[in-house]
Structure 1
Amino acid sequence: MTKVLIAIVGPTAIGKTALSIKLAQHYNTEIISADSRQFYKEMSIGTAVPFKEELNAAPHHFIQNKSIEDDYNVGDFERDAISKISILHEKNPIVVMVGGSGLYVKAVTKGLDYFPEVAPHIRTHLNLQLKEKGLIHLQEQLKSLDSEAYETIAIDNPQRVIRALEICIGTEKPYSSFLTNPEKNRDFKTISIGLNAERSTIYDRINQRVDVMIENGLIDEVKSLSPYKHLNALNTVGYKELFQYLEGDWTLDFAISEIKKNTRRFAKRQLTWFRKDDAIKWFDFETDVEEIIQYINSEIE
C-alpha cells in the first residue's frame, strides 16, 4: 500500500487537534505535531498543547520534546520529522500530521526552500536596528520591500523578519521570490486537509480560547517564565503581551485584548499562507469526520 501522510492544517483554534485524533484513531496510527509553539516543555497553556486526555487518545510526537533554551529550527524539524515518519510508516502506511505553522508543514511535505548566502554584516546591522528602533521599524521596511512576505511570515517574530529582510537587502530580490524552489521528492503521498470557517466564527473561537487560557492559569505560567523572556521561544503571542503586563507597562485587560488581536492577525496570516497551496482540500470545521475519511480514502485509492 502507498505510504500516506495526512496533513491537517488551518487557522488557530479551528479544531485541528480534535480532527487529528479522530483520524489517528480511525486509521490506528500516530500523530506528528507541526506546531512550532508546542515543542517546548516549559510552555503549555499559552501554546494550546493538547490536554492529557487528548494526548492519551493517540500517540503524539514533537510535543513538549524540547526546552526553551534549546536551539531548534525548522531545518532541524524537517530532518527529525522525516526520520520519525519513516519509522512510523514501517508499522502503518498512514501517518497523521497536524499543525498551523505553515513553514514547518511545508518543510515536511515539500522541503525547505534554498536561499543564497548574504553578507553577515547585513544581519548585524538589522539586529542593531531592532535594538535601537524596535520591531515595528523592521516590519515597515519589510512591508515596503516585500509586501507578500509581510503578509505571510510570522511578522511578530524578530528572527523571521530579520531573515526576510537580510535576503531582500542582500540579494536585491524579494524574500518571497525564493519560495518557489522545486519540491523535494518524498517517499510518501501527502493528502492535505484544511479546516476553515467564517472569519467571525474563527475570531469568536480565538477570543473564547484566550479567555479559557487566562482561566486555566496562563498568567502564572508566563510569570514563571519571566527570567527567560529574552529567549526567542517566548517572543510569541500570549507570552510577550503578558510580560508587558507583569512589568507594569500595560493593564491586564489591555494585555488580554492585545493577545486576542495578535492571535486574530496570526490566524489571518495562516490562512493567507495555506490558501496558496492548491493541493489542500478545504472543509468547514463542523464537517462530519466520516465525510473527511471518505475523501481521504478516495485519494488513497
Structure 2
Amino acid sequence: MGKTVIIIAGPTAAGKTALAIRLASHFDTAVISADSRQCYKEISIGTAKPSLQELQTVPHYFIDSHSIKEEVNAGIYERLSLQYAAHIWQKRDVAIMCGGTGLYIKAFCEGFDNIPSAPAEIRQGINERYEKEGISWLQQEVREKDPAFYAIAEIHNPQRLIRALEVLYATGQSITTFRTANTAARDFNIIKIGVTVPKEQLHANIEQRVHAMIAAGLVEEVRSVLPYRNHNALQTVGYTEIFDYLDGKTTLEEAIALIIIHTRQYAKRQLTWFRKDPAMQWFSPDDTTEILNKLSIITR
C-alpha cells in the first residue's frame, strides 16, 4: 500500500486515543500525537495524556518530548512529525496520527506557511490594550474583525488572539489566509478518520473527564507550573481557570464549572474545524471493525 498515515481526529473526550491504540495494535505500528500540549513533560493531568498502560501498549511520539520551558508551534510540529513518520516507515508502511489540534494536523498534511511578523509598535499597542481591558476585549476584537479565525480559535488563549490581531492589523488580512496559501506536496498516503459521539454523550464525557482530572490532582499540577503561567501552552482550558482559583478570583467549584463550559466550547470549535475537511470520514470511536474494513478497501 506504500507509506500511509491514518489520522484520527475529532473533539476532545470523543474516544480518539483508545481507537488510535486499537488501530496501532492492529497494524503493529506507532502513534504520533497531534496535540499541542501533550508534548510537555510537566503537564499530564490537564492535557489528558494517554495512560501509562496505553503508552506501554504501543510506541508514542510527541508525548513528553519537550519541557514547558520550550516553545513548540505548528512549524516545529510539521518538521518533527515528518521525522517521526519517516522513522516509523523504516519498519512499517502505516503510521497512526491522533489528536485534536487541527492546525498541527494541517501542518503535517499540507505544510505550514510562514505567517508574517508584525511591527513592534502594533504588537505593543495590542498588548497595552489587553493589559487594560483584559481577554474580553481580545475576544470581541477578533470576533468582529476576524470571524474566520474566531470560529476555530482557542478563544481563552490570549497569545493566539494577540497573534491573530497582529497579523490582521499589519496586513489587513485574516491569519487564516496565510495558513492556506501553499499546500506542500507529500509523498505518502493520508487517510483521515473523524471521531465523535452524540452531543449529549460528548458533554457527559467532558464533565466526567474534568472531575477525574480534579480527583487526579489537577490543582497540584497547575500549582507546580505557576512559574511558567505565561507560557502559551498554559493559556488554555483547564489551566487558566485553576490559575484564577489559585489567585483567589474564583472558588474551586466555580473553576471546575468553567473548565467544563470552556471545554464544551472548545470541542465545538474542534468539530467546526474538522467538519470543514471534505477528506474526513466520520465514525463512532467504537466502530473499529467498520473502520478496519474501510481501511482495507482503501489501502488494498
- In the superposition, the TM-score normalised over structure 2's length comes to 0.96
Offset at residue 38 of structure 1 (A): 0.4
1:70 corresponds in structure 2 to 70
Please, which moves more after superposition, 120-129 or 193-202? 120-129
Which residue of structure 2 aligns with residue 41 of structure 1? 41
Aligned to 1:274: 274
1:66 maps to a residue whose letter is H
How far apart in 2 are the matches of 1:62 and 1:116? Answer: 27
Residue 246 of structure 1: how far off its partner (Å): 1.5
Contact in 1 for aligned 2:5/2:191 (Cα 8 Å): yes
Tell me the CA shift for residue 118 of structure 1. Answer: 3.7
Of 207-216 and 153-162, more deviation after overlay is shown by 153-162
Relative to structure 1, the CA distance from residue 245 to residue 118 in structure 2 (aligned partners, 3 Å threshold; closer, same or farther) is closer
Q: Post-superposition shift, 1:196?
A: 1.2
What is the DSSP-based 3-state SS (H/G/I as helix, E as strand, rest coil) of the residue aligned with 1:67? coil
CA distance in 2, matches of 1:255, 1:164: 27
**Gap regions ≥5 residues in structure 2:** none
Aligned partner of residue 173 in structure 2, secondary structure: coil
Match of 1:59 in 2: 59
Alignment of 1:114-129 (within 5 A): 114-129=114-129
How many angstroms apart in 2 are the aligned matches of 1:59 and 1:52?
11
**Which amino acid letter does the alignment assign opposite residue 239 of structure 1?**
Y
Show the counterpart of 2:254: 254
Q: Which amino acid aligns with 1:169?
A: Y
Q: Measure how far apart 1:238 and its partner are.
A: 0.8
User: What SS is found at the alignment partner of 2:151?
Assistant: helix
Report the count of equivalent residues: 300
For structure 1, which segment, 90-99 or 163-172, has the greater mean C-alpha deviation from structure 2 after superposition?
163-172
Deviation at 1:8, TM superposition (A): 0.3
Q: Is the 8 A contact 1:192 1:281 kept in 2?
A: yes
- Aligned twin of 2:150: 150
Deviation at 1:139, TM superposition (A): 1.3
Q: For the residues of structure 2 that align with 1:233 and 1:112, how far apart are their CA atoms?
A: 19
Aligned-pair CA distance for 1:176: 2.8
In structure 2, the partner of 1:193 is 193
Report Cα offsets for 1:90-121 as digits up to 9, x if no partner. 21110000000000111111111343454332
Matched, 1:109 2:117: no
One-letter amino acid of the counterpart of residue 189, structure 2: K
2:297 aligned partner: 298
Q: Which runs of 5+ in 1 are unaligned?
A: none
Deviations 1:61-114 (A, max 9, x none): 110111111122211111111112112112111000000000011111111134
Deviations 1:246-274 (A, max 9, x none): 22111111000000011011101100111
Distance 1:117 1:234, change over 3 A: closer
Letter in 2 for 1:181: A
- Alignment check: 8 A CA contact 2:36 2:233 kept: no
Matches for 1:143-222 after TM superposition, within 5 Å: 143-222=143-222
Displaced runs of 4 or more, over 6 A: none
Aligned-pair CA distance for 1:157: 1.4
Residue identity (%): 44
Q: Provide TM-score, normalisation by structure 1.
A: 0.96
1 CA distance for matches of 2:200 and 2:268? Answer: 12
**Contact 1:114–1:181 (Cα < 8 Å) also in 2:** no
The aligned amino acid for 1:220 is E
Residue-by-residue CA offset, 1:184-217 (whole Å, 9 max, x unaligned): 1111111000011221211111001001111111
